[in-house]
Amino acid sequence: MTLEYLEVGERSRPRWQGFLVGAVVLIALTAAVVAWWSGRLREQANESLGLAIVDVSRDARAGEDVVLSMLQYTSPAIWSTMVGEDVRAGMRGLVQSSADEVVRTLQETRAAAAGTFVVPWDDTQQRAKAAVLDLVDAHLARFERIARDAKAIGPVFGETPPSDDTARALLRASGANLTADR
């Protein structure tokens, strides 16, 4: 008998262990990439939705000023019995047109907010996005009423304007840093 048969060499590892280690490393790497990507998307969505809140609040306040200014400019003719109904209707049309411009501006803000991608598994951010869209829709509805009928100015501006508190709170809960807070 020769010594080569008695010699104990290094045992080779089973092949499946190498695959298992590789799979674990791949899963860990994939999880890290998904977490980083999800975090970036969350930051971008929070920024976009935060800007939508600022934009809609600013545009609605400015829109009220524009519509009220147009009403003040046209009101002598609107309420005058000395001018014909066609002139009064034309003046109401100017007020409605100014409200319609605000509607277009708010629709752009809504489209930007609606186009904001939020990962499907982030319920908090999904609720924040829905609250931002609800806020924009509430402001839109007010100006759409005036754009359809200038006589709605009194009731519309007599109501309390929509509050952005819910949208801001939900956005903060999703991790947003709202630097434009009141």
Q: Of 100-109, 122-131, 145-154, where does the model show the most confidence? A: 100-109
Give the mean model confidence (pLDDT) for residues 5-21: 67
Residue 143 or residue 28, greater confidence: 143
pLDDT above 90: percentage of residues in the chain: 42
Q: Give the Cα separation of 168 and 153 in Å (integer).
A: 28
pTM of the model: 0.75
- Given a cut of 80, is residue 37 above it in pLDDT? no
SS3 label, residue 87: helix
Provide the pLDDT for residue 4. 57
Q: Mean pLDDT check: name the lowest of 37-41, 143-147, 177-181.
A: 177-181
Q: Taking a C-beta distance cutoff of 8 angstroms, is the pair 20, 99 a contact?
A: no
Average pLDDT, the chain: 85
Q: Which of 150, 172, 1 is nearest to 79 (CA)?
A: 150
Give the mean model confidence (pLDDT) for residues 4-14: 59
Give the mean model confidence (pLDDT) for residues 122-133: 91
Give the mean model confidence (pLDDT) for residues 174-181: 66
Q: Mean pLDDT check: name the lowest of 14-18, 28-32, 92-96.
A: 14-18
Q: How confident is the model at residue 77 (pLDDT cuts 50, 70, 90)?
A: confident
Burial of 152 (0-12, 13-18, 19+ CB in 10 A): middle
- Given a cut of 80, is residue 2 above it in pLDDT? no
- Given a cut of 80, is residue 13 above it in pLDDT? no
Please spell the DSSP secondary structure of 18-55, one letter per residue.
HHHHHHHHHHHHHHHHHHHHHHHHHHHHHHHHHHHHHH
